[in-house]
Structure 1
Amino acid sequence: MLNLSNLWFAWSKQNKLKDRYEIDGRKSLGPSKYGMVIKYKEKKKDGQIRTVRVVPKTKVVNQSRFKQEINQMRYLNHENITRLIELFEDDKNLYFVLEYCDGGSLFEKILLRYYLKQSEARYLFQQIINSLNIAHRSAICQRDLRPESFHFINKDINNLDIKLIDLGFQLIYVDDYIKKSNNQIIETSRQGKLYFAAPEIFIGKLTEKSEIWASGVILHVLLTGELPFDGKDENEIYKNIQDNKIQLKTKGIVSDLIEKILQPQEKRYQIFQIQKHQWMSQQFSEEEETLNINFSKFKLLTQNNFLQKIMRGYVADQVKQGFADNLRIIFDQLDNTGSGFIKIDLIQKSLEKHQEHEEILKLLKYVQTEDGTINYLDFMNQILEKRVFVDEERIYKTFKMFDLNNKGKISNENLWEILSKLENYKYITKEYCSLLISEVDRDQDGEIEYLEFIDMFFKRV
């Protein structure tokens, strides 16, 4: 039972999350900067799939501002922003139940399609601008806007409806910061590269207009596959951003719009000006609709090794379901409070008494946590992953599944033939399969040999 003195939100539900929801499947949606993200399903008949973001209260530094933005989020209801459906809390954690978008991040689906029309790029951009407009009217900033901030609502390759995610969660840890030494970045609160960061962010002056800048960079990438600034390395690119050295690769009226967005703050277009720009309502000829996107560079701007992600799923399927079921039973027995979290040392003490769990006990030493506690799905995924790596046989079996010609190599044709039969990848193109192979193809012969394949799993590529 929640101690009322620990209550953060008067409108939150104090009953247990698991009374209304159950974990959907065996996979976590993964950890993130803003807390563990888990896929749940309502227990009622025909229950909806939801995203649940688990935020430990101890991780929230700026508590008052965080509460303020979450209270605002409660009333946001727009088709391009993931809706906060309800909130559960206990003494230790906040459980945010959100709309579930399973279509992947903005650039992921475009890479799968391997094509985009100018009118489609505009439709995506309009949704980005609409979501920012609503958020800014509610005095909420995303603060770290990038392609991963937008997810497609479903996997349908022709459905380009997107939603802004993670809104309101950026104040969990600390305010935005970038530390420099000798004019080079040595530390930042931001995840990944800073290619979408506005010039003012580099000097600690983030405003809502910083997100308008990011939207302009995203638009340029959607149209060309490239950033609107060049550089031989990250630091040179960052310097060109700060010096406003823009080099557009776009053509036509849209270049004028992007140029007006990628300006210093005082000259930068506001949202209402963007919405009224001629390009936003332009009729495109057949020639104008066709975009010459550099997908090789486009791929470099994504943060995922997609081939590794796909193959990990195949290897994990080699693990017997009984082993995974055993993990679930162990966890549930130890999670007396139903919080979804338990301490690693508690698992160790419990398993030491049971010889039949010796294998799990050995694997526990590889499990990584921040504070000694772990969520069930993170616990299970890490254990399964370590078990996969302990036995190279599973990796070899997966390799042979794709080596359709029994040549000791996986070709572009092999990869496409198998993936295109799967629901999640039925729209995948052969061109994109070539890009996936290039992620690990060290000798650049266009095929994956077994040594290259196994190196991918141990991150030596």
Structure 2
Amino acid sequence: MNENDTMKVYVEEFMTEEEEEKKEEFDVEEAMNNFVIKKDYFVLHRDGDIFKDYDIERVPIGEGGFGCVYRAKEKETGALRAIKKIPIEKIINPQNIINETTALKNLDHPNIIKLYETYQDNDGIYLVQEFCEGGELFDYITENDYLTERDAANIFMQIIQSIIYCHKNRICHRDLKPDNFMFVSKEKDSTVKLIDFGLSRSFYKFQRTGEGKCLRMKSKVGTAHYMAPEILKNDYSYACDTWSAGVILYIMLCGLPPFPGDTEEEIFKANLEGTFEFKDKIWEEISDEAKDLISKILVPEKERITPKECLNHPWVKKCTSSEFSVETKQVYVDRLRRFQAASKLKKAILSYLAAKVTEEEIKESVMLFNSIDKNHDGYITIKELYKGLNAANMNSKEVSAIVMGVDTDYNGAINFNEFIAATLDASIYKDYENLAKAFNFFDIDNDGLIDCGELKDCLAGKDFKYIDMKVFSSVIEDSDTNADGKVDFHEFLRCMSVKLEDEM
């Protein structure tokens, strides 16, 4: 395979032109008939004092190039959060902050950290993110010296899944390292989350360079041990992320970097030479399949396998597998059907709740999503849903109808937040406190009523600026039992099949 062929294979991992148009170009005519809901609508920016809403610990739990991360508790709910503070004096290049906030708002994947909201005051910018109590992958490796092949494969699979999703959405992370992967919990086989998009690079459709070619980057960024050799030559593509994942895998299996050095210069020299070995005694106990995978990643860019090829490698497939019972699948099919038939307001409420839940509350749903998403691109297609839930006795027409009913952003597939919204357990969406917070989100003026104007403003007014207010009026009318043109809290709860506490 020559270099052009390799690049052609790699570019197939991106969204197609058609997929991009569905994702990035808002169709006004379609929106006139469809009530569009996107996950990023629920990530708010607030100007003002963050300490009014959060109790923030004084001592940071992590530090990065742009700021520190603090453990915090939301005063209203008691929920734990990780708040990244970026001091004003450290914002030398505002584009880095824009990169991170934009990426986190739009990315929607089980292996990427969730952004809840952002704040800004005179001291800096604050990113309120999910709290991962399991700590960094770096610390996990350090504490254990090295990992078992099964453990390493499970983590590596999640790392690659996050890369595939980022690349499909035209984002190159450029700083993949164990420090930038967090465990959600301290439990065995905890979900791993990718963090810190400060050095990421985003590309849009107009920047496409032509069929069979990858966009090239020139900035020398990253962390020495994990930087691909082509970065050091100031001419590289998305494939640099795959190299970094290969270095992480090597370190997970033996506890040492493949290209050692006491200084950056020594490390860079070793990277450029590209020679590494499996000579330490520990490698005698590691399978040839694991070594084969590493050997296919830590090679020059034109020879390097793609992220999808990594996941299809025999070693990854052998070490990672999951299956769900017929009964479990049926439970989720029933939930998907209920969401499909739900009112538009109820879908919006469930989507809001899905954007706010913790990982522990949706653990089984996350596992099932990953199991159904066979190509690991972060989207469930009609074909994948049909195959993934084949034991639930559904025909293809029924599956197509479910996907259409769950696909609230109308991109032709089910993304992560849509799947979570559709499969939330009743204990979450019937919880009084959760619903009170959801109501307050939509009730912008805090008058105890939600009108069509507030609904429009909450659900990204910029997307709906050309849409007739009748679209939103019809959504309100569905739940407006007293016909006053607004939804009060009683009606809001009835929409969710929940009674007020004084009615119970």
- Given the two structures, how large is their TM-score scaled by the length of structure 2? 0.46
| Residues 282 and 151 (structure 1), Cα distance of their counterparts in 2 relative to 1, 3 Å cut | same
Per-residue deviation, 1:123: 0.1
Task: Provide the residue aligned with 2:235 in structure 1.
Answer: 205
Per-residue deviation, 1:141: 2.5
Asked if 1 retains the 8 angstrom alpha-carbon contact of 2:177 and 2:226, the reply is yes
Task: Provide the residue aligned with 2:127 in structure 1.
Answer: 96
- Out of 283, 286, 291, the position equivalent to 1:255 is 291
CA–CA distance in 2 between the matches of 1:270 and 1:43?
45
Q: In angstroms, what is the RMSD of aligned CA positions?
A: 2.9
Asked if 2 retains the 8 angstrom alpha-carbon contact of 1:72 and 1:138, the reply is no
Task: Provide the residue aligned with 1:454 in structure 2.
Answer: none
Please give the per-residue CA displacement for 1:177-232, whole angstroms capped at 9, x wherever unaligned. Answer: 65xxxxxxxxxx656xx122110122223432111101101111111223334668
Asked if 1 retains the 8 angstrom alpha-carbon contact of 2:154 and 2:319, the reply is no
Per-residue deviation, 1:170: 5.7
SS in 2 for 1:38: strand
Q: What does residue range 152-167 of structure 1 map to in structure 2 within 5 Å?
A: 152-156=183-187, 158-167=188-197
Task: Provide the residue aligned with 1:120 in structure 2.
Answer: 151
SS in 2 for 1:102: coil
Q: Give the ranges of 4+ consecutive aligned residues of structure 1 lying more than 6 Å apart after TM superposition.
A: none
Asked if 1 retains the 8 angstrom alpha-carbon contact of 2:54 and 2:74, the reply is yes
Task: Provide the residue aligned with 1:38 in structure 2.
Answer: 70
Is structure 2 residue 83 aligned with structure 1 residue 52?
yes
Please give the per-residue CA displacement for 1:89-143, whole angstroms capped at 9, x wherever unaligned. Answer: 2355211101111222113123434563211110010011111122222222322
SS in 2 for 1:126: helix
Per-residue deviation, 1:64: 4.6
CA–CA distance in 2 between the matches of 1:273 and 1:132?
12
| Residues 266 and 169 (structure 1), Cα distance of their counterparts in 2 relative to 1, 3 Å cut | closer
Please give the per-residue CA displacement for 1:10-39, whole angstroms capped at 9, x wherever unaligned. Answer: 951124211211114x52224421212221
Per-residue deviation, 1:281: 1.0
- Out of 50, 61, 65, the position equivalent to 1:29 is 61
SS in 1 for 2:171: coil
| Percentage of identical aligned residues | 32
Is structure 2 residue 176 aligned with structure 1 residue 140?
no
CA–CA distance in 2 between the matches of 1:148 and 1:106?
6
Asked if 2 retains the 8 angstrom alpha-carbon contact of 1:143 and 1:206, the reply is no
CA–CA distance in 1 between the matches of 2:246 and 2:87?
34
**Equivalent position amino acid for 1:279 in 2:** W
Task: Provide the residue aligned with 1:439 in structure 2.
Answer: none
Higher relative contact order (CA 8 A, sep 6+): 2
Q: What does residue range 231-380 of structure 1 map to in structure 2 within 5 Å?
A: 235-249=265-279, 250=283, 251-282=287-318
- Structure 2 spans left out of the alignment, 5+ residues: 1-42, 202-216, 321-504
Per-residue deviation, 1:61: 3.9
Per-residue deviation, 1:56: 3.1
Asked if 2 retains the 8 angstrom alpha-carbon contact of 1:82 and 1:99, the reply is yes
| Residues 66 and 237 (structure 1), Cα distance of their counterparts in 2 relative to 1, 3 Å cut | closer
- Out of 28, 34, 50, the position equivalent to 1:17 is 50
SS in 1 for 2:164: helix
Asked if 2 retains the 8 angstrom alpha-carbon contact of 1:73 and 1:168, the reply is no
Per-residue deviation, 1:69: 4.9
Per-residue deviation, 1:166: 0.8
| Residues 28 and 66 (structure 1), Cα distance of their counterparts in 2 relative to 1, 3 Å cut | closer
Q: What does residue range 388-407 of structure 1 map to in structure 2 within 5 Å?
A: none
| Residues 60 and 15 (structure 1), Cα distance of their counterparts in 2 relative to 1, 3 Å cut | closer
Task: Provide the residue aligned with 1:150 in structure 2.
Answer: 181
CA–CA distance in 2 between the matches of 1:62 and 1:233?
27
CA–CA distance in 2 between the matches of 1:280 and 1:83?
26
CA–CA distance in 1 between the matches of 2:260 and 2:267?
6
CA–CA distance in 1 between the matches of 2:62 and 2:245?
26
Task: Provide the residue aligned with 1:302 in structure 2.
Answer: none
**Equivalent position amino acid for 2:172 in 1:** C
SS in 2 for 1:266: helix
Asked if 1 retains the 8 angstrom alpha-carbon contact of 2:239 and 2:301, the reply is yes
Per-residue deviation, 1:242: 0.3
Please give the per-residue CA displacement for 1:315-374, whole angstroms capped at 9, x wherever unaligned. Answer: xxxxxxxxxxxxxxxxxxxxxxxxxxxxxxxxxxxxxxxxxxxxxxxxxxxxxxxxxxxx
Task: Provide the residue aligned with 1:185 in structure 2.
Answer: none
CA–CA distance in 2 between the matches of 1:201 and 1:98?
30
| Residues 139 and 62 (structure 1), Cα distance of their counterparts in 2 relative to 1, 3 Å cut | farther
Asked if 2 retains the 8 angstrom alpha-carbon contact of 1:140 and 1:168, the reply is no
CA–CA distance in 2 between the matches of 1:20 and 1:113?
38
CA–CA distance in 2 between the matches of 1:21 and 1:232?
42
SS in 2 for 1:39: strand
Task: Provide the residue aligned with 1:214 in structure 2.
Answer: 244
CA–CA distance in 1 between the matches of 2:263 and 2:95?
39
Task: Provide the residue aligned with 2:483 in structure 1.
Answer: none
SS in 1 for 2:150: helix
Asked if 2 retains the 8 angstrom alpha-carbon contact of 1:141 and 1:168, the reply is no
CA–CA distance in 1 between the matches of 2:80 and 2:189?
19
CA–CA distance in 2 between the matches of 1:11 and 1:273?
37
| Residues 226 and 65 (structure 1), Cα distance of their counterparts in 2 relative to 1, 3 Å cut | closer
Please give the per-residue CA displacement for 1:49-105, whole angstroms capped at 9, x wherever unaligned. Answer: 111111234533443564255223202222211111101123552111011112221
- The structure where helix makes up a greater share of residues is 2
| Residues 202 and 90 (structure 1), Cα distance of their counterparts in 2 relative to 1, 3 Å cut | same
Asked if 2 retains the 8 angstrom alpha-carbon contact of 1:141 and 1:167, the reply is no
| Residues 106 and 283 (structure 1), Cα distance of their counterparts in 2 relative to 1, 3 Å cut | closer
| Residues 229 and 264 (structure 1), Cα distance of their counterparts in 2 relative to 1, 3 Å cut | same
CA–CA distance in 1 between the matches of 2:218 and 2:132?
26
Asked if 2 retains the 8 angstrom alpha-carbon contact of 1:66 and 1:169, the reply is no
Task: Provide the residue aligned with 1:451 in structure 2.
Answer: none
**Equivalent position amino acid for 1:204 in 2:** N
- Structure 1 spans left out of the alignment, 5+ residues: 1-9, 179-188, 285-461
Q: How many residue pairs were aligned? A: 257
- Out of 92, 97, 101, the position equivalent to 1:70 is 101
Per-residue deviation, 1:155: 3.0
SS in 2 for 1:95: strand
